[in-house]
Amino acid sequence: MSEENLEVLTEAGLDYIVSRPLRRNRISKGVIATVSPEIKDKLKVWKDQKIPLEEQECFLDATIGGRRFVVSHNEEIARQTKRSRRSLLNQATLYIKWRVARTLGQHQGTIPVQGKALTHEETLLNLHDYLRDRKLGRYYRIGLDDAGRVRWAPDQEARDWENEIDGKLLLETTNLSLNPHQVVHQYKELQEIERCFRTLKSSLDIRPVYHWVDRRIRAHIFICVMALTIERLMRHRLQKAKIKRSPERVLEKLSFQRTVVARVNGKTIEGLIPPTAEQLTFFKALNIPEPQYKHLSDRAL
């Protein structure tokens, strides 16, 4: 997305719905600031009226500089995002404290050195790599002080902004006939189409096609489209059951249930690992019968 491309669409008389980045964007910051008081009022009403968390979602309009923006806020997603980020930041902070203290202690002689002790510069690079790999770099200010030692602190401004945008989707559109909810729905329909293409190209590996005979190519694509249809059915049923997991993640969890073969008192016993409570939830949501199993100890008796 670029301003030039949006101008081309506008000059051609075409409507568009595009998402706006929520970070490091002056326009987005202004839009969020405009709708933030209304969202806070919604949160208070939801709390007072004891609205179920899964129903706490709103869609708001904002016009800035003659341009129409739509903001959706989902409180359930916002809380999940906050919990996940809090856990990651707690782990990262513990690691940073440990790494900095270890380097300082080794150079001061209070901690025994096993192998090569990292310099403060090497420690800084290590921490940068650690935060980069976990996409947590923006939450910390980290560098070397005048004495050449590692100094770090939480970037509170960045953290406050993340708390502000949790659960939010910001769209810009030239369409004036759709209400905010319809704008978001139309955009998510586009996302679903794009997700299908990504699934075909990544999860289902439709490319490259290692076939040269026409009928085999058709069969390969047919199987991929069939798999895509099943994936979409799974996604629909999971959403209906209000399970915030992707089909890929659910299949990964279900793959942990295995058949087993054991030798007990000279007898060969076959069975299934009992499904976990989470796996049973997935089976129910997908409308699949629960697996039939029997504990090995029971069968041995």
167-207 pLDDT tens trace:
999 999 999 999 999 999 888 877 776 666 666 666 555 55
φ/ψ of 69, rounded to 5, equals -125, 145
In a domain, 101, yes or no: no
% of the chain surpassing 70 pLDDT: 89
In a domain, 41, yes or no: no
Summarised one tens digit per residue, pLDDT across range 204-258 is 555 555 667 788 878 877 877 787 788 889 988 998 998 888 888 898 888 888 8
Show Cβ contacts of residue 93 under 8 Å, excluding neighbours closer than 6 positions: 154
Place of tokens 């289902």: 204
In a domain, 253, yes or no: yes
Place of tokens 């940068």: 128
Tell me the pTM.
0.65
In a domain, 20, yes or no: no
Summarised one tens digit per residue, pLDDT across range 47-90 is 999 999 989 999 999 999 888 999 999 999 999 999 999 999 99
In a domain, 231, yes or no: yes
Length of the chain: 301
What letter represents residue 92's amino acid?
A
Helices (H), the chain: 3-11, 26-48, 75-108, 120-133, 156-165, 180-198, 214-240, 247-254, 277-285, 296-300
Question: Residue 15 and residue 96: Cα distance in Å, rounded?
Answer: 48
Task: Tell me which residue range forms the domain holding 253.
Answer: 225-301
* Number of compact structural domains in the chain: 1
Taking 80 as the threshold, does the pLDDT of residue 1 lie above it? no
* 3-class secondary-structure state, position 273: coil
- Interior CA angle at 221 toward 218 and 222, to 5°? 80
In a domain, 238, yes or no: yes
In a domain, 111, yes or no: no
In a domain, 296, yes or no: yes
